[in-house]
Structure 1
Amino acid sequence: MIDTLRRLGVDYHFEPEIQNALRFVAAAAAPPNGLHACALRFRLLRQSGIWISPASRHVYEEMIISGDVRGLLNLYEASYLGFPGESVMDEARSFARSHLLKIYNTTDQAMAKQLARALELPSHWRIRRSEARWHIEQYKDIEGIVDPSLLELAVLDFNMVQLVYQTDLKELNRWWKELGLPEKLEFARDRLNESFQWAVSLIQEPQFSYCRKIMSKLVCLVNVVDDVYDVYGSMDELQRFTAAILRWNAEELDELPEYMQICFMAVYNTANELAYYTIKQKGFNCLPYIKQAWQEQCRLYLEEATTFHNGLDQTFEKYLDHGWKSVAPSIVLIHTYAASAETLSNEAFIYVLG
């Protein structure tokens, strides 16, 4: 039932009950019998962040001999939740995949659809809302026995959540249009829809609407600022823009060209918007940490621009290190934490900033 609720995208309605059930399952002295139950238990617990050790290789092999197709499928998907060094999970994945490919053409149509989808990409790697849509459509064929109430709930929930997403996107489109960055900075990427899709893939529950919108705004701004450094700005302009970000003073922008003034104010106002929200809703001022994240990011962008403009060589390791940082993980985590957590702490912000 837990797996079905998750695949249909309605598990967030029953989160306390699901967590209690999973803790009960984890505390069970003996593992369940059969490949399907054993692999499903392992996958659900690992996906929920509850530690469980994998069974030994010979246990999986003995279960596989039984020819349980659904069990093989669960084992295959569970194998992707192994930790580095758990060679038994790598072996289980290879073993299960080879058997699934062998039986693919001999199984029924409904199971063949599941196998094809899982072999392409395990379900927990997919965007959950799109996965829910697929499972709602396939529910009768997959489960065999249909619970009409559960299917009705899944359909209603999917449509209601889609309506929330549409409302979010309308508000973001209005914000993006009023901001005026696409018109004033024609060289920069206009990626509002893609940014929103990315936010939805990470924060899917309808109650986190504000967090999705903040993340979407952030990704749009990170793309624009990145393009200012990578595509358009001269070194002199980039140095002045970085200095303005470090000062974080909206009254000292006269030395910047107009497009940079607009870009600075977009970053500045969005940061202040989130800080106002956290002060009002959570009694915590996150602005110092947002400022620090943006300042460190712009320093990195300036360093990359300097390397490029001066024609300097760098090692592949340093290039990868800069590449990882230039996708702005700290800024994303800072904003996500500030917008979504019920309570905020200095220790958590300091940890994220490293």
Structure 2
Amino acid sequence: MQCEEGEVFRPIAAFSKNIWRDQFPLTDDLQSQVFDSLTKEIDPLKEKVKNMLMASTADPIENVQFIDTLIRLGVSYHFENDIENQLDSIFSSHQNDLFSGSDLDLNSTSVVFRVFRQYGFKMSCDVFNKFTDTDGKFKEALMDDVKGMLNLYEAAFLRIHGENVLEEALAFTTANLKSLAKKSSPNLAKQIENALDQPLNKCPPRLAARTYVSFYEEEESRNETLLKFAKLDFNRVQILHKQELSQMARFWDENKFSSELPYARERYVEGYTWLNSVFFEPCYTKWRVILTKIMVLVSILDDTFDAYGTPEEHQRLIDALKRWEMSALDELQDYTKVICKAVLVLFDEIAEEARKEGKSYSVPYAKDAFMGLVNNYQAEVKWYHDGYVPTFEEYMSVSMKTSTFDPCVAISFIGMGEVAEIQAFEWLRNDPKIMKATNVIGRLMDDIVSHKFEQLREHAPSSVECYMRQHTLSEELTLKDFKKLLEDAWKDINEECMRPTAVPRDLLLRPLNFARASYLCYKHGDGYTNWEYMKDDIFALFVNPIPI
């Protein structure tokens, strides 16, 4: 677009500055030493906890409850094979006599249900029927069991389509938990408040663990060895995450993004928070850094298409990118050359790492997903420049793909080792239901909190404006409809994670965790663009260690 004076009009957004510079120094050699020291310290504790896990198998319910504690404290990743084997054994041998009987109370039933559902076992929701009356309503007497009510609430978030008893469970617990918190111990009240804000199934695993450690510490029945192990392990892994964030600061500076692309958001810490939500374990350190670099470049591209470049500049950049050759840089003479070079260098790195792992076949899938994202950015820009307001369905067909998840999930698969073979990439290319649901969550939650800020400058319409216009609805009624669409998307994800699954569970956790990251980022506002919405979570995850 041209201004009257002949200058290019660029609808630049007023993004806030990066506030994290001082928290993650570019070099800190002491961190590696501390990491190694803590690793040696937790090794004997890890062995003790494993012995506890094996000892708990004498009682199936105690076994599942102990597994739940390991999950919630964030240390279950150390024992995944044992946990899978134990749950498989219990589910196949005991479900009839244990889960359908009347001996288990509300709390135990809810915990057992949630753990099995988390691991993809299709445990029947009929186990909750015994807590309802003849009208299908939950019995009022259950409110005397506050902890049971809290765990019933958490269990309800693993529901799938058609599970009416869990719909009723969610309505019943949501309506009563806030008042029950006022009558509870301070520790239980804090757990209720946290759950109402961030349900466990919608919370990134690492943040859920950081939060639960403080709750578990106040439990009279806590196991001191397990608590110490969880604290030390969290702090140990946090050191690795800090080192990775230092690498991201270096990546930003070495590419001179601040000076070359001053219009773009400097959000590598927020981007890293997303990818840390997708997989936090130490074994994924290399791919976590690579994926955060992808997220940074995608964010720059988003700002370029959304708030700076012209359609002609965009098309030249797209034409250069799709060649996937360094010689394409010769065709670019402006700021887009910086972007194109950074993308090509990073994909060369991805290709080399994939080659080392014997997965060179996976790189074209990642490139296709990346170019699909960029092409859809251009489609959104065309709507804006043409003054076109699409239907909601037309908007979603394009803008679900600009939630950035497709290329990120594809690249995460490359880093998952032997569990992701070529069939997994073919499955991903066919846009499975779980990816559609994850993209719906990312797109709608983003638009709900950011559309008003975007409309302060010239900008393409969001899902909110498209839906309001098409259905002649107020914003309030539109958001009510969006809430239902979001709930359905979460049910789709839960359903796709049920056994037998199309691909291994480890792969399904990647889109699920992207959905969880979306919920964390957008539950109160645009936490990616505006640092204040995720500031406390970032401090808890990456800045402040847990006091021992």
Give yes or no for contact 1:276–1:285 (8 Å, CA) kept in 2: no
Relative to structure 1, is the Cα distance of residues 242 and 283 closer, same or farther in structure 2, using a 3 angstrom cutoff? closer
Cα drift, residue 273 of structure 1: 0.5
Distance 2:414 2:258 in 1: 27
Give yes or no for contact 2:376–2:399 (8 Å, CA) kept in 1: no
Name 1:193's counterpart in structure 2: 269
Cα drift, residue 236 of structure 1: 1.9
Give unmatched runs, 5+ long, in structure 2. 1-65, 431-548
Distance 2:348 2:354 in 1: 10
Distance 2:369 2:307 in 1: 22
Q: Secondary structure at the match of 2:357?
A: helix
Letter in 1 for 2:258: P
Paired residues, what number? 353
Distance 1:145 1:105 in 2: 22
Letter in 2 for 1:25: I
- Mean Cα displacement is larger for which, 244-253 or 192-201? 244-253
Distance 1:344 1:76 in 2: 34
Aligned partner (choices 233, 237, 246) of residue 170 of structure 1: 246
Give yes or no for contact 1:203–1:211 (8 Å, CA) kept in 2: no
Aligned partner (choices 48, 53, 71) of residue 124 of structure 2: 53
Q: Secondary structure at the match of 1:78?
A: helix
Cα drift, residue 102 of structure 1: 4.2
Q: CA RMSD in A?
A: 2.0
Cα drift, residue 174 of structure 1: 1.3
The correspondence of residues 217-256 of structure 1 with structure 2, limited to 5 A, is 217-256=293-332
The correspondence of residues 149-160 of structure 1 with structure 2, limited to 5 A, is 149-160=225-236
Q: With structure 2 as the length reference, what TM-score do the two structures score?
A: 0.61
Relative to structure 1, is the Cα distance of residues 252 and 48 closer, same or farther in structure 2, using a 3 angstrom cutoff? same
Matched, 1:321 2:397: yes
Relative to structure 1, is the Cα distance of residues 152 and 186 closer, same or farther in structure 2, using a 3 angstrom cutoff? same
Give unmatched runs, 5+ long, in structure 1. none
Relative to structure 1, is the Cα distance of residues 174 and 70 closer, same or farther in structure 2, using a 3 angstrom cutoff? same
Matched, 1:125 2:202: yes
Name 1:348's counterpart in structure 2: 424
Give yes or no for contact 2:372–2:401 (8 Å, CA) kept in 1: no
Cα drift, residue 283 of structure 1: 4.4
Name 1:33's counterpart in structure 2: 104
Matched, 1:290 2:366: yes
Between the two proteins, what is the percent identity of the paired residues?
32
Name 2:174's counterpart in structure 1: 97
Give yes or no for contact 1:284–1:344 (8 Å, CA) kept in 2: no
Matched, 1:5 2:70: yes
Give yes or no for contact 1:278–1:284 (8 Å, CA) kept in 2: yes
Give yes or no for contact 1:293–1:331 (8 Å, CA) kept in 2: yes
Give yes or no for contact 2:373–2:404 (8 Å, CA) kept in 1: yes
Distance 1:78 1:263 in 2: 45
Name 1:278's counterpart in structure 2: 354
Distance 2:109 2:174 in 1: 17
Distance 2:420 2:89 in 1: 30
Relative to structure 1, is the Cα distance of residues 279 and 344 closer, same or farther in structure 2, using a 3 angstrom cutoff? farther
- Mean Cα displacement is larger for which, 237-246 or 154-163? 237-246
Cα drift, residue 248 of structure 1: 2.0
Q: Secondary structure at the match of 1:141?
A: coil
